[in-house]
Amino acid sequence: MGDYQVDRECRYPAYMSISDTIVASATAPGRGAISIIRLSGDNSLRIAEALAGKTFTPRLATFGKLISDGLLIDTGVWIYFKGPNSFTGEDVVEFQGHGGPVVIQTILRTIIAQGARLANPGEFSQRAFLNNRIDLTQAEAISDLINATSVSAVKAANQSLSGEFANRIHAIVADLIHLRTQIEAHIDFPDEDIDPQNLREFSDQLTNLHHHLQSLKLAANEGARLNRASDVVLIGEPNVGKSSLLNALANEPLAIVTNIPGTTRDLIRHDLLLDGIELRVTDTAGIRATEDVIETEGIQRARNAIETADIALCLFDERHHTITESLVNRLIGDTTSAAIGIIRTKNDIQSQPTINQTNYPLIEISAVSGSGLNQLKDWLLNELNLNSNAETPFLARERHVIQLAIALNYLHQAMSQPVNLETIDLLAEDLRLTQNALSEITGSFTSDDLLGSIFSTFCIGK
């Protein structure tokens, strides 16, 4: 098989010889009363024993505390599985504690501070497979899992990276690139006609950068909403009853409900709490061909909202008795990865039964009488909790906060001594690492990108 060599004697393949320690919540986010936090890797035992303040015996459940910096964070059951007899084949420790997003977040952060890192999507299963804990027949399932979870992770990351947070981090990265461009040009092109840089100016830029990054990290930390609302988008032809449904779910009038088609021109959002799960329901403009500029803009926004939604509810009223795939596609386009549900509205005035020719579930409701609303709520909750492998937006933001902290650390180091020529290479190194940390959030920035920035900023070419 080519030049790919397998060491048959070795239980762990060469590529697993250094296994960093990963951690994640093994239970679905949201409602559970018990949560399981799982650690895997060489340092699992060390970290767990430090937090529990006692030593563990393999496969023996131990009731104990989880203490960090002298503070009791949670009590629960610890179980240590010594590798290779564990799920991943590595040393694994599980902590079964009390559910609750605040506690889980605190535990994860505590464990990460001890040297573990947040697991990537599907990483536990991947390690299990690589360490022969899952057999060959499961290989495709593992691949599917990695693929599906990474898709959901990308989506979650995009949701986290939007709005104010995105604007601020992009501004910081732009400033960082500006500073690095000047410093690297200074280093790589000393013979060029570049105006002698004022080191003081570098120093000021550095201070600014640090200030912005620090305040963003604080804001992101507070904004890392524990149960970030799941996005539900209502979509349908004008006057189909989207606003009425939103109002029925919210129990208060939010949107202007009239029977003149095209009333809702802007997106109207409302945050709801359904059984502990936060929903952000977006009421969109009715989708139809229009020349009204304002309404066209509203429709564009509706399309955008569908792109990033978790769930899209397609509403139909008495105008359509037979629901077909093409009818649905006309509403939502074909680019969304949201879960889709068909809602037949106004069932209090419907005369003919609905024929559903799609594979999507159908729920019939009346916003006036309230019939079908409970069924809809149950379906929504079920849908949002169904895929426990999916990366949640909360976790995505948590990853972002961690990267901001790493970036800030490097920036601290960069500022630990005054900017001077002699150590400008060290400053450049700290800034490179700062950028690498931020690239995990905003996308990669290569050395070639940096060179491109230098060549477009300065006239190089002795």
Partner 1 sequence: MDYTRCFDVIVVGGGHAGSEAAHAAARMGCDTLLVTHSIETLGQMSCNPAIGGIGKSHLVREIDACDGLMAKITDHAGIQFRVLNQRKGPAVRATRAQADRVLYRQAMRHAIETTPHLTIFQQPVSDLTIEHDRVTGVVLAMGLELKAKTVVITAGTFLAGQIHIGMNQQSGGRAGDPASNELSKSLRDLPFRIARLKTGTPPRIDRRSVDLDSLPEQPGDFPTPYLSMMSQGTEHPTQIPCYLSRTTEKTRDIILQNLHLSPMYAGVIEGVGPRYCPSIEDKMVRFSDKPTHQVFLEPEGLTSFELYPNGVSTSLPYEIQFDIIRSMDGCSQAVITRPGYAIEYDYFDPRDLQATLESKLIENLYFAGQINGTTGYEEAGAQGLLAGANAALRAQGKDSWTVGRDEGYLGVMVDDLITLGTQEPYRMFTSRAEYRLALREDNADTRFTEKARSLGLVSDQRWKHFNDRQEQITQEMHRLKSTWIRPSDPTIEQLNSILTSPLSKETSAHDLLKRPEIHYHDLVERGEFLGHKDPSVSSQVEILVKYSGYIDRQTDEIKKLKKNEQVKLPTTIDYQSIVGLSNEVRQKLIDHRPETLAQASRISGVTPAAVSLLLVHLKKLDLMNMAS
**Which phi and psi angles does 94 have, rounded to 5°?**
-115, 140
9 binds partner 1 (CB under 8 A): no
Q: How far is the CB of 13 from partner 1 (least distance, A)?
A: 7
Q: Which stretch binds partner 1 (CB under 8 A): 80-88, 134-142, 170-178, 215-223?
A: 134-142
For residues 126 and 120, what is the distance between their CA atoms, to the nearest angstrom? Answer: 10
142 binds partner 1 (CB under 8 A): yes
For residues 272 and 279, what is the distance between their CA atoms, to the nearest angstrom? Answer: 5
Q: Which stretch binds partner 1 (CB under 8 A): 11-19, 80-88, 207-215, 331-339?
A: 11-19
Those residues whose C-beta lies under 8 Å from the C-beta of residue 212, and which sit 6 or more positions away, are 168, 171, 172, 175
69 binds partner 1 (CB under 8 A): no
Question: Minimal CA–CA distance to 245: which of 362, 339, 382, 366?
Answer: 366
Phi-psi region of 414 (alpha: psi -120 to 50; beta: other; left: phi over 0): alpha
Those residues whose C-beta lies under 8 Å from the C-beta of residue 222, and which sit 6 or more positions away, are none
460 binds partner 1 (CB under 8 A): yes
Which residues ranging from 316 to 375 are in contact with partner 1 (CB under 8 A)? Answer: none
444 binds partner 1 (CB under 8 A): yes
272 binds partner 1 (CB under 8 A): no
Judge contact between 72 and 52, C-beta under 8 A: no
130 binds partner 1 (CB under 8 A): yes
Q: Which stretch binds partner 1 (CB under 8 A): 61-69, 190-198, 244-252, 253-261?
A: 190-198
Q: Which of 193, 271, 297, 348 binds partner 1 (CB under 8 A)?
A: 193
Query: H helices within 291-392, ranges in order?
Result: 293-308, 325-332, 373-386
Q: In what order do the strands lie in the sheet with 362-364?
A: 268-274, 277-283, 230-236, 311-316, 339-344, 362-364
DSSP 229-294: PEEEEEEESTTSSHHHHHHHHHTS--S---SSTT---S-EEEEEEETTEEEEEEE----S----HH
Tokens of 285: 């403009």
Q: Which stretch binds partner 1 (CB under 8 A): 77-85, 163-171, 371-379, 421-429?
A: 421-429
Q: Which stretch binds partner 1 (CB under 8 A): 124-132, 171-179, 269-277, 296-304?
A: 124-132
Q: How far is the CB of 357 from partner 1 (least distance, A)?
A: 30
Q: In what order do the strands lie in the sheet with 117-118?
A: 62-68, 71-81, 92-98, 34-40, 22-25, 117-118
294 binds partner 1 (CB under 8 A): no
3 binds partner 1 (CB under 8 A): yes
Question: Minimal CA–CA distance to 395: which of 24, 98, 26?
Answer: 24
β-pair type (311-316, 355-356): unpaired
Q: How far is the CB of 133 from partner 1 (least distance, A)?
A: 11
29 binds partner 1 (CB under 8 A): no
Q: Which of 32, 210, 424, 442 binds partner 1 (CB under 8 A)?
A: 424
For residues 391 and 220, what is the distance between their CA atoms, to the nearest angstrom? Answer: 18
Q: Which stretch binds partner 1 (CB under 8 A): 9-17, 109-117, 219-227, 285-293?
A: 9-17
Q: Which is nearer to partner 1, 243 or 453 (CB)?
A: 453
Q: How far is the CB of 6 from partner 1 (least distance, A)?
A: 5
Q: Which stretch binds partner 1 (CB under 8 A): 76-84, 142-150, 253-261, 349-357?
A: 142-150
Q: Which is nearer to partner 1, 242 or 432 (CB)?
A: 432
Q: Which of 68, 106, 120, 389 binds partner 1 (CB under 8 A)?
A: 120
Q: How far is the CB of 11 from partner 1 (least distance, A)?
A: 12
Those residues whose C-beta lies under 8 Å from the C-beta of residue 11, and which sit 6 or more positions away, are 84, 131, 132
12 binds partner 1 (CB under 8 A): no
DSSP annotation of 61 reads: -
For residues 228 and 13, what is the distance between their CA atoms, to the nearest angstrom? Answer: 39
Q: Which is nearer to partner 1, 121 or 286 (CB)?
A: 121
The verdict on whether omega for the bond into residue 84 sits within 30 degrees of 0, i.e. cis, is yes
For residues 283 and 367, what is the distance between their CA atoms, to the nearest angstrom? Answer: 14
Q: What is the maximum span of the chain, computed from C-alpha positions, in angstroms?
A: 84
Q: How far is the CB of 223 from partner 1 (least distance, A)?
A: 25
Q: Which is nearer to partner 1, 144 or 297 (CB)?
A: 144
190 binds partner 1 (CB under 8 A): yes
Q: Which of 67, 158, 189, 263 binds partner 1 (CB under 8 A)?
A: 189
455 binds partner 1 (CB under 8 A): yes
Residues that bind partner 1 (CB under 8 A): 1-6, 8, 13-15, 17-18, 20, 120-123, 126, 129-130, 132, 135-136, 139-140, 142-144, 146-147, 150, 153, 184, 187-193, 417, 421-426, 428-429, 432, 444, 446-448, 450-452, 454-456, 459-462
